[in-house]
C-alpha cells in the first residue's frame, strides 16, 4: 500500500534486470547503485524502501543495508499513518510495528495496527488498546470495542466480573470516567449522558458530573440536555442547571417553531429558545409555539389574545380565533361568528362586523368585507371608506375595480366604493387589464362592457366570446357570426357553431356541409372535419331521448363510438352550478365521484381515457359548465369545462378544456383529490354502424 504523505524521496529508482529477473536501484544517471537482488522493490521514501527477497519482505536504506531483515511474509505502510511514519510487518500471521528508521516499536504479537483520529490503535484478537509512536502502550489491549474518539474522548468497554462495563478514555490513555456503566453515548458539545442502574448522569469533558443528581430520564439527542427528576423536567448545560427540574413535560427541542419551544409548569404554558432561555414565563392557559415580530397568541378562559414578549397585551383575550392575516403585520380575529382585523400595535382597523374573512388588497391598501346589511371597505388606518348597502358579496379588486352583488345582480365599484358599473347583470367577468372588455349577461343576453360601464357591445346576443384578433364571435337567433368593436357585422350570422379568431383564423361549423377553419374573408383554409366525423343531424344518429326524464340530447359519431354532443342533465343525479337550476338547463349538471358511474342512461357509459384522446383528434363541442370542488365551491362557469373519464378498476379521472386552449382536451387533475370534485358528463356507447 502506498503512503499518502508527500515525503522527500531520494533519486534512487527501482531498476529491473530482465537477464536476472530481479530488481535493483539506479541513480538519476542510470548508474546501478544497489545490485539486482530483489524480487520486488518499492520506491524510496525518506531514505528507506520496502523490498522482497526469497519471498520475504524487509526494508533497506540507500546503501542497500537491510535495516529490517527480509524475513516477513507481508510488509505494508500503516493506513492513515501520515504523521506517524510507522511501518509494520507480518510474521506467522502476527504483526509487529517499526518506525521509518527500522527500529521495532511493538513485537510481532498483534493482529493489526490502525490509525484513527491520529491515535495508534493496537488490536489483538477481539480486544483493543492504544499506543504511541515510541512503542509505549498508553492503554492496555483489554477494550472490547474499537475506540472512536469524539471531541478527544472515546467511550470504551472492558469486561470485569463477567460483565461488560463502559467508561471513557482520552487519547493519552487516561481513564476520564470509570468503567461502571451499562450504556454510554458519544460526547457532544462537551457533554455526555451515561446510564447506570436505570439512572442517568451528565458528565463534562473533564470527567466531572455537571449536576450531582441521578436523573430518571435524559434526552441525549439535544444540547442542552432535557433531564427528568422526581417526575419533573429541567435542562442541563455545561455549567449545571439551565432550568431546574420543575416543568410538567419534556422540552421538544426536535420541533422548534421559529426557534421557540413550548414549556409547561403547573399546567401553565410559556416559551423558551433552543438554549433554554425563558422567553415567555409559564402563566398562560395555552400558547402558540411561534413568536412572530415579538408577539404570540395565547388562551385565557378558552378565549384567544396576543401579548408581546414584554408581557404587554396587544389584543385582549376575548376572541374565538386569532391569527396572523396574510403575514403582513395584520391580525385576523373572530368572535361570535364575526370577523375583524387589528394591526400589530393592537389598533382595530376593521371592527367585528364581517360575516366572512375580510379580503386584503395590498395594491389598494384596503380591507373588504360584508354582512347582513351590505358590503364595506376600510383602509389600513381603520377608516371606513365606503358602505355599500344591500351588497351580499364584494370580490377583490382587479385593475381598480371590485365586483359586487346586490339582489343576485352584479356590478363594480372603485376603490372609493363608488358604483362605476351598476348591479344590473346576472353575470359579469372581472377586468383582467385596463383595456379589457368584460363579458356580461343580462336576462340571458350577452354583451361586452368597458371599465367605465359602457356597453361597447350591447347585451342582445345569445352568447359572445371576448374580443380576439380584432373580432368578437357571437351567437344571435341560433346562428353564429362575427362583429367588430363598433358592433358592426363583419361575418354574417349563418354558422351553426363558431369560435374566436386567433392569428387570422377561426374554427366554424357550417351546418352539415363544413366543419373546419376559415380566415377573415370566410375562405376555408383547413380540411373538412366532417370527412371524419358524422354530425348529429345525420339520420343514422338522430337526437337521443333519455327515457328516464324525456330530455333530448344531440349525438355525434366519432370513430366507432356515438357520443352525447351535449352535457348530461339528468336532474335526480345532478348538481346545478351555484345551485341554480337554470345553469344546469343551459350547461348540463355536475356529478360527484360516486354519482358519475351510474348517471348515464341504460346502454350508455362514461368515456375512457383512450376514448377522450381519440375524440381530441377530431372535434369536440364543449359546454363550459365549470366545476364544483368541496374545498372552494363552484368555479369557472363559462370559462372552462371538465368531464369525468373512466380509468378502470373503479377509478375516475377528469379531462378539461377552456377558451384559451383552443378546445384541446387536457388531463392533469391530481387523481388523489378527485373525490372532492363534481364534473360534467358526456355519455358514449358503441356504434353498430
Bridge-based pairing state of the strands 232-237 and 32-38: unpaired
Q: How confident is the model at residue 634 (pLDDT cuts 50, 70, 90)?
A: confident
- Residue 277 confidence (pLDDT) above 60: yes
Structural domain of 605: 534-686
Q: Which of 488, 508, 531 corresponds to the end of one domain?
A: 531
Q: What is the pTM of this model?
A: 0.56
The reported pLDDT for the residue numbered 1 is 35
Please give the average per-residue pLDDT across 49-59, as a whole number.
Answer: 91
The reported pLDDT for the residue numbered 499 is 83
Same-domain check for residues 592 and 660: yes
Look at 3-12, 167-176, 346-355, 668-677 and tell me which has the smallest mean pLDDT.
3-12
Question: CB 198: neighbour CB atoms within 10 A?
Answer: 9
Same-domain check for residues 538 and 682: yes
Closest CA to 644 of 686, 678, 602: 678
- What nine digits make up the cell of 138? 498508553
Same-domain check for residues 606 and 507: no
- 376-422 pLDDT per residue, tens: 999 999 999 999 999 999 998 888 899 999 999 999 999 999 999 99
The reported pLDDT for the residue numbered 131 is 95
The reported pLDDT for the residue numbered 540 is 55
Same-domain check for residues 610 and 626: yes
Q: How far is residue 615 from each of residues 347, 564, 625, measured CA to CA in Å?
A: 60, 12, 19
Phi-psi region of 135 (alpha: psi -120 to 50; beta: other; left: phi over 0): left
Q: How confident is the model at residue 671 (pLDDT cuts 50, 70, 90)?
A: low
The reported pLDDT for the residue numbered 402 is 93
Please give the average per-residue pLDDT across 480-499, as a whole number.
Answer: 93
> Which segment, 33-42, 68-77, 494-503, is predicted with the most confidence on average?
33-42
- Residue 507 confidence (pLDDT) above 50: yes
Same-domain check for residues 526 and 555: no
The reported pLDDT for the residue numbered 656 is 74
Please give the average per-residue pLDDT across 35-62, as a whole number.
Answer: 91
- Answer yes or no: is 582 within a domain: yes
- Residue 660 confidence (pLDDT) above 60: no
Q: How confident is the model at residue 532 (pLDDT cuts 50, 70, 90)?
A: very low
Same-domain check for residues 428 and 392: yes
- For the chain, the helix, strand and coil percentages under 3-state DSSP, each to the nearest 5: 5, 55, 40
- Residue 22 confidence (pLDDT) above 70: yes
Same-domain check for residues 544 and 677: yes
CA distance 267 to 280: 15
- 110-122 pLDDT per residue, tens: 988 888 888 999 9
The reported pLDDT for the residue numbered 93 is 61
The reported pLDDT for the residue numbered 500 is 87
Please give the average per-residue pLDDT across 595-610, as a whole number.
Answer: 90
- Answer yes or no: is 47 within a domain: no
Same-domain check for residues 563 and 653: yes
CA distance 320 to 341: 13
The reported pLDDT for the residue numbered 4 is 33
The reported pLDDT for the residue numbered 658 is 67
The reported pLDDT for the residue numbered 667 is 65
Same-domain check for residues 599 and 516: no
- Residue 534 confidence (pLDDT) above 50: no
- The DSSP 8-state label assigned to residue 421 in this structure reads E
Backbone angles phi, psi at 66, to 5 degrees: -80, 105
- Answer yes or no: is 218 within a domain: no
Closest CA to 437 of 396, 491, 484: 484
* Number of structural domains found in the chain: 3
In three-state secondary structure terms, 611 is: helix
- Answer yes or no: is 20 within a domain: no
CB–CB of 570/547 below 8 Å? no
Q: How confident is the model at residue 348 (pLDDT cuts 50, 70, 90)?
A: very high
The reported pLDDT for the residue numbered 416 is 94
In the β-sheet with 66-72, what is the strand arrangement from edge to edge? 40-41, 48-53, 56-61, 66-72
Q: Which of 489, 512, 531 corresponds to the end of one domain?
A: 531
* DSSP assignments along 598-610, one per residue: GTSPTT-BPPBHH
Please give the average per-residue pLDDT across 659-678, as a whole number.
Answer: 66
CB–CB of 325/360 below 8 Å? yes
The reported pLDDT for the residue numbered 641 is 83
- What nine digits make up the cell of 78? 500503516
The reported pLDDT for the residue numbered 655 is 78
First to last CA, the chain: 82
- Answer yes or no: is 248 within a domain: no
Q: Which residue has the higher pLDDT, 610 or 127?
A: 127
- What nine digits make up the cell of 679? 364534473
Bridge-based pairing state of the strands 359-361 and 366-371: antiparallel
- Answer yes or no: is 432 within a domain: yes
- 619-628 pLDDT per residue, tens: 667 777 888 8
- Residue 315 confidence (pLDDT) above 90: yes
Let me know how long the chain is: 689
Q: How confident is the model at residue 535 (pLDDT cuts 50, 70, 90)?
A: very low
Closest CA to 246 of 233, 236, 235: 233
Mean residue pLDDT across the chain: 86
Q: Which of 509, 531, 553 corresponds to the end of one domain?
A: 531
- 131-179 pLDDT per residue, tens: 998 899 999 999 999 999 999 999 999 999 889 999 999 999 999 999 9
CB–CB of 191/200 below 8 Å? no
Q: How confident is the model at residue 94 (pLDDT cuts 50, 70, 90)?
A: confident
Please give the average per-residue pLDDT across 458-472, as a whole number.
Answer: 93
Q: How confident is the model at residue 618 (pLDDT cuts 50, 70, 90)?
A: low
Phi-psi region of 36 (alpha: psi -120 to 50; beta: other; left: phi over 0): beta
* DSSP assignments along 187-254, one per residue: -BTTEEEEEETTEEEEEETTS-BSSS--BSEE-TTSSSEEEEETTEEEEEETTEEEEEEEESS---TT
The reported pLDDT for the residue numbered 560 is 79
Same-domain check for residues 527 and 545: no
Same-domain check for residues 438 and 557: no
Q: Which residue has the higher pLDDT, 363 or 5?
A: 363
Same-domain check for residues 416 and 448: yes
- Residue 511 confidence (pLDDT) above 80: no
CA distance 637 to 589: 12
- Answer yes or no: is 70 within a domain: no
- Residue 273 confidence (pLDDT) above 60: yes
- Answer yes or no: is 109 within a domain: no
Please give the average per-residue pLDDT across 295-303, as a whole number.
Answer: 93
- 216-257 pLDDT per residue, tens: 999 988 899 999 999 999 999 999 999 999 999 988 877 777
Amino acid at each position: 500500500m502506498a503512503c499518502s504523505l508527500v515525503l522527500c524521496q531520494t533519486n534512487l529508482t527501482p531498476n529491473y534486470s530482465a537477464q536476472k529477473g530481479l530488481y535493483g536501484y539506479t541513480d538519476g544517471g542510470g548508474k546501478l547503485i544497489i545490485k539486482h537482488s530483489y524480487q520486488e522493490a518499492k520506491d524510496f521514501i525518506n531514505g528507506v524502501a520496502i523490498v522482497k527477497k526469497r519471498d520475504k519482505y524487509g526494508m533497506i536504506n540507500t546503501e542497500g543495508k537491510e535495516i529490517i531483515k527480509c524475513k516477513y511474509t507481508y510488509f505494508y505502510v500503516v493506513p492513515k499513518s501520515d504523521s506517524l511514519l510507522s511501518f509494520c510487518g507480518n510474521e506467522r500471521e502476527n504483526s509487529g510495528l517499526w518506525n521509518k528508521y527500522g527500529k521495532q516499536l511493538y513485537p510481532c504479537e498483534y493482529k493489526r495496527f490502525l490509525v484513527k483520529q491520529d491515535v495508534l490503535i493496537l488490536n489483538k484478537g477481539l480486544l483493543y488498546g492504544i499506543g504511541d509512536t515510541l512503542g509505549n502502550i498508553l492503554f492496555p489491549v483489554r477494550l472490547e470495542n474499537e475506540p472512536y474518539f469524539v471531541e478527544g474522548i472515546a467511550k470504551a468497554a472492558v469486561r470485569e466480573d463477567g460483565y461488560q462495563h463502559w467508561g471513557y478514555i482520552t487519547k493519552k490513555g487516561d481513564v476520564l470516567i470509570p468503567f461502571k456503566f451499562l450504556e454510554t453515548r458519544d460526547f457532544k458539545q462537551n457533554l455526555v449522558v451515561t446510564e447506570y442502574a436505570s439512572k442517568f448522569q451528565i458528565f463534562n469533558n473533564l470527567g466531572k458530573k455537571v449536576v450531582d443528581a441521578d436523573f430518571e430520564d435524559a434526552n441525549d439527542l439535544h444540547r442542552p440536555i432535557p433531564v427528568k427528576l422526581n417526575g419533573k423536567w429541567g435542562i442541563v448545560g455545561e455549567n449545571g442547571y439551565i432550568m431546574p427540574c420543575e416543568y410538567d413535560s419534556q422540552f421538544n427541542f426536535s420541533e422548534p417553531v421559529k426557534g421557540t419551544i413550548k414549556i409547561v409548569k403547573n399546567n401553565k404554558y410559556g416559551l423558551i429558545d433552543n438554549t433554554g432561555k425563558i422567553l415567555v414565563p409559564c402563566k398562560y392557559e395555552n400558547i402558540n409555539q411561534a413568536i412572530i415580530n415579538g408577539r404570540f397568541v395565547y388562551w385565557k378562559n378558552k378565549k384567544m389574545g396576543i401579548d408581546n414578549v414584554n408581557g404587554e397585551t396587544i389584543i385582549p383575550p376575548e376572541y374565538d380565533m386569532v391569527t396572523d392575516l396574510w403575514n403582513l403585520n395584520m391580525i385576523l380575529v373572530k368572535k361570535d361568528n364575526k370577523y375583524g382585523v387589528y394591526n400589530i400595535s393592537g389598533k382595530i382597523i376593521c371592527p367585528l362586523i364581517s360575516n366572512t374573512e375580510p379580503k386584503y388588497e395590498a395594491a389598494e391598501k384596503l380591507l373588504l368585507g360584508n354582512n347582513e346589511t351590505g358590503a364595506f371597505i376600510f383602509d389600513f388606518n381603520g377608516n371606513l371608506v365606503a358602505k355599500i348597502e344591500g351588497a351580499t358579496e364584494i370580490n377583490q379588486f382587479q385593475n381598480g375595480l371590485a365586483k359586487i352583488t346586490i339582489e343576485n345582480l352584479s356590478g363594480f365599484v372603485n376603490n372609493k366604493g363608488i358604483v362605476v358599473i351598476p348591479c344590473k347583470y346576472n353575470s359579469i367577468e372581472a377586468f383582467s387589464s385596463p383595456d379589457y372588455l368584460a363579458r356580461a349577461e343580462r336576462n340571458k343576453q350577452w354583451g361586452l362592457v368597458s371599465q367605465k360601464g359602457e356597453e361597447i357591445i350591447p347585451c342582445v346576443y345569445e352568447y359572445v366570446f371576448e374580443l380576439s384578433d380584432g373580432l368578437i364571435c357571437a351567437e344571435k337567433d341560433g346562428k353564429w357570426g362575427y362583429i367588430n368593436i363598433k358592433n358592426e357585422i363583419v361575418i354574417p350570422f349563418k354558422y351553426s357553431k363558431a369560435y374566436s379568431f386567433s392569428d387570422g383564423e377561426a374554427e366554424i361549423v357550417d351546418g352539415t356541409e363544413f366543419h373546419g377553419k376559415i380566415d377573415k374573408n370566410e375562405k376555408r383554409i383547413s380540411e373538412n372535419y366532417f370527412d371524419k366525423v358524422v354530425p348529429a343531424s345525420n339520420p343514422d344518429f338522430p337526437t337521443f331521448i333519455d327515457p328516464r326524464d324525456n330530455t333530448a340530447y344531440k349525438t355525434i359519431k366519432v370513430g366507432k363510438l356515438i357520443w352525447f354532443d351535449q352535457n348530461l342533465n339528468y336532474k335526480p343525479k345532478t348538481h346545478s352550478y351555484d345551485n341554480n337550476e337554470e345553469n344546469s338547463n343551459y350547461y348540463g349538471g355536475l356529478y360527484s365521484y360516486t354519482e358519475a358511474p351510474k348517471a348515464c342512461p341504460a346502454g350508455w357509459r362514461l368515456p375512457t381515457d383512450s376514448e377522450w384522446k381519440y375524440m381530441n383528434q377530431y372535434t369536440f363541442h364543449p359546454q363550459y359548465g365549470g366545476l364544483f370542488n368541496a374545498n372552494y365551491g363552484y368555479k369557472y362557469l363559462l370559462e372552462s369545462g371538465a368531464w369525468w373519464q373512466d380509468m378502470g378498476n373503479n377509478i375516475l379521472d377528469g379531462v378539461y378544456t377552456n377558451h384559451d386552449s383552443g378546445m384541446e382536451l387536457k388531463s392533469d387533475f391530481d387523481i388523489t383529490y378527485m373525490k372532492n370534485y363534481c364534473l360534467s358528463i358526456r355519455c358514449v356507447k358503441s356504434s353498430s354502424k
